[in-house]
Amino acid sequence: MGKEIFKLQNGSDIRGIALPGVEGEEVNLTRYDALAIGASFAHWLGFKTGKNSFDLKICVGRDPRLSGIDLADALMSGMAYLGVQVSDAGLASTPAMYMSTIMPYYEFDGAIMVTASHLPFNRNGFKFFTAEGGLNKSDIREVLEYAASAHILPFEYHAESVNLMQMYAAHLRSMISMGVGGDLSNMKIVVDAGNGAGGFFANSVLAPLGADISGSQFLDPDGTFPNHQPNPENKDAMTSICKRVRETGADLGIIFDTDVDRSAAVSSDGKPISRNGIVALAAAIGADDYPGGTVVTDSITSNELHTFLEDKLGLKHLRFKRGYRNVINKAMELSKEGEQAFLAIETSGHAAYSDNYYLDDGAFLAVQIIINAANLKKEGKGIETMIADLGEPAEAVEIRFDLTTEDYSEVGDKILEDMKMWVEQTDGLSPEQPNYEGVRVNFDLGGHSGWFLLRKSLHDPVMPLNVESSNEGGIPLALDKIKEFMETQSGVILQSCDR
């Protein structure tokens, strides 16, 4: 395959352009890539497990992207070429694919999910699992090293069809029944699947428990994603479900991303519970079971969230790095050291509880939210009461700077080092400690307080800058200061600004 295949690595996933049709975007994830990657994962898995490839059992699932069936077929063909026993889960969720490696009856040696999360219709990719969890960045590199030198021919195979989602839905229903002590006949819940793989949650989990799901929207899988981006971080998506909850008078709204490893919620008054809100809610749900426990989050969480977690819930908050795998791995590391790190969660909606295998599962989080919402309704309360003490910044903005040179990573490192020195020399600014990503700074300028974080993008020649202020007027003052600094740097230009 050659070294070009390494460009498909996206942290702990593989992602690429799988379909033509978007100007300026050439296809770089083909059937031949999938053949080689499938065979290479099987080779890697055989080495890790000590099994002969003929003894390996691997399951493949996919989200509804238009290229999904073709790529899944190629993956299975590549694995079958080596003699692997392949199973086809069809339309599935990413968390269910992991569960296929540990569920009684299935217990596959490995699993692959064909998905590119919330990315546009022409993109696709692969996520890999064993019973130990998702593959890490170094594992993906090893798989691609095998693939780069592989010469795999298309191979006719037989894949056993498995109804994985039926068993997974039953597992989720059982948790809800136990949590509420019965059914959900008293609950009206709007589910927004964004035409991804999450429609099963309404039809196969909530409806059989008696919940009224009549207000739900975009449950049918459609790989063109015609209604809105299937992404709980997307403003249009959140606006859509908030409006739907208000229109239908629902008790609760739940929204998933394409492959259901992320979710967010909407309260009965139509207000979003996402980003810092979903972190706060997920932590509040587990706080009683893990008193004084640790919540590991990504780097862009707010000061108000930190106060809520530590002062209101009595938990410890470790603000770590962006990247769901980074957050999960850190929580697992702390757990091995004896710390009660019960939750690893990103503001994007990736939430992994220690009692759920540290699996980032949007449906599992939704189940926990629904259990609490149903029990609170019996007391005449809404889910929002669990985070009533969470403060919100008065202002928030994200700015992205393009790095314009070929050595953009080195340029980004230099900018961050220069910023550290600049902060030390500038009145009204103080570095956040501890800090694990980029440069996070607290500011107090003219009576306006807040923070900003400049960091390198995980994968692109971009430097995102997040700024929040506790009171109106703080962001312009902070941006003026930051502009003074950025004007001293070369190889960087302002790309966009989202308020």
**pLDDT of residue 61 exceeding 60:** yes
**pLDDT of residue 491 exceeding 90:** no
pLDDT of residue 493: 82
State pLDDT tens for residues 131-148.
999 999 999 999 999 999
| Domain termination site, one of 162, 194, 222 | 162
Give the whole-angstrom CA distance, residue 327 versus residue 295: 10
State pLDDT tens for residues 425-456.
999 999 999 999 999 999 999 999 999 999 99
To the nearest whole number, what is the mean pLDDT of the chain? Answer: 96
Task: Provide the residue type at 109 as one letter.
Answer: D
**pLDDT of residue 77 exceeding 80:** yes
State pLDDT tens for residues 159-204.
999 999 999 999 999 999 999 999 999 999 999 999 999 999 999 9
**pLDDT of residue 80 exceeding 90:** yes
Q: What percent of the chain has pLDDT over 90?
A: 94
| Domain termination site, one of 328, 355, 387 | 387
Do 297 and 445 share a domain, yes or no? no
Do 480 and 416 share a domain, yes or no? yes
| Domain termination site, one of 162, 197, 218 | 162
Do 251 and 177 share a domain, yes or no? yes
Do 144 and 58 share a domain, yes or no? yes
Do 131 and 213 share a domain, yes or no? no
Strand order through the sheet with 263-266: 189-192, 252-256, 263-266, 272-273
Give the whole-angstrom CA distance, residue 325 versus residue 124: 19
- Binned at pLDDT 50, 70 and 90, residue 2 comes out as confident
List the domain range (segments joined by +) for residue 493.
395-498
pLDDT of residue 217: 99
- Binned at pLDDT 50, 70 and 90, residue 490 comes out as confident
Do 325 and 422 share a domain, yes or no? no
Do 426 and 481 share a domain, yes or no? yes
pLDDT of residue 498: 55
- Binned at pLDDT 50, 70 and 90, residue 383 comes out as very high
- Binned at pLDDT 50, 70 and 90, residue 35 comes out as very high
- Binned at pLDDT 50, 70 and 90, residue 496 comes out as low
Q: Are 345 and 295 in contact (CB under 8 A)?
A: yes
Q: What is the CATH number of the domain that holds 24?
A: 3.40.120.10
Number of domains forming the structure of the chain: 3
- Binned at pLDDT 50, 70 and 90, residue 3 comes out as confident
**pLDDT of residue 277 exceeding 90:** yes
Task: Provide the residue type at 20 as one letter.
Answer: P
Taking residues 120-138, what's their average pLDDT?
97
Question: CA-based diameter of the chain, in Å?
Answer: 71
**pLDDT of residue 25 exceeding 90:** yes
Taking residues 280-306, what's their average pLDDT?
98
pLDDT of residue 495: 62
Taking residues 65-75, what's their average pLDDT?
98
**pLDDT of residue 271 exceeding 90:** yes
Do 176 and 139 share a domain, yes or no? no
Taking residues 201-211, what's their average pLDDT?
99
Q: What six digits make up the tokens of 95? A: 């968390």
Q: What percent of the chain has pLDDT over 70?
A: 99
- Binned at pLDDT 50, 70 and 90, residue 40 comes out as very high
Give the whole-angstrom CA distance, residue 116 versus residue 192: 18
- Binned at pLDDT 50, 70 and 90, residue 367 comes out as very high
**pLDDT of residue 1 exceeding 80:** no
State pLDDT tens for residues 7-20.
999 999 999 999 99
Phi, psi of 59 (to 5 degrees): -110, 145
Do 328 and 409 share a domain, yes or no? no
Do 489 and 357 share a domain, yes or no? no
State pLDDT tens for residues 390-429.
999 999 999 999 999 888 999 999 999 999 999 999 999 9
Taking residues 274-280, what's their average pLDDT?
98
Name beta bridge partners: 442: 430, 451
Do 311 and 408 share a domain, yes or no? no
Closest Cα to residue 373, out of 261, 248, 281, 271? Answer: 281
Do 104 and 211 share a domain, yes or no? no
Taking residues 74-101, what's their average pLDDT?
98
Q: What is the CATH number of the domain that holds 404?
A: 3.30.310.50
